[in-house]
Amino acid sequence: DLPGYSAQLLTFIFMIGFLILIAAVVIGIFIYVLTIQKIDVFGVMKAQGISTGTIGRSVIVQTFILTLIGLVLGVAVTILSIYFLPAQVPTQINWLFFIAVGGLILLCSLIGALFSVKTIVNVDPVRAIA
């Protein structure tokens, strides 16, 4: 082992870990804000007789699909960018890491959607129409 290598590696691992955690939280908040912006639409849907459960499931499924598309595009661009890097740049694809990070991001976005559903449950259809 080179002197300082372990400390440097540990620093990079913590930096990457915190960046992933921050990104996952930001995505969860983004999903929540995106849903809150449509609160009037959900109120109108409830006034039309669409059940809260149906609206909630719809939000969860849409969030899942949106996040999955984003993850697939992100991985595709990452893999594509590797082919444009010079040969001197060492790269290694760790699929287990991609899957773990993708799962964390998916989980956080679904948690953000669950907070949105909680808000949708409390929407007053009369207020949304007025």
Sorted by sequence, the CB contacts under 8 Å of residue 125 that are 6+ apart come out as 43, 44, 46, 47
Distance CA 43, CA 49 (A): 10
| Domain positions in the chain | 5-129
Tell me the per-residue pLDDT of 67-100, one tens digit each, with 9 for 90 and over.
999 999 999 999 999 889 888 888 888 899 899 9
pLDDT digits over 14-63, tens only?
A: 998 898 889 888 888 888 888 888 888 888 898 899 999 999 999 999 99
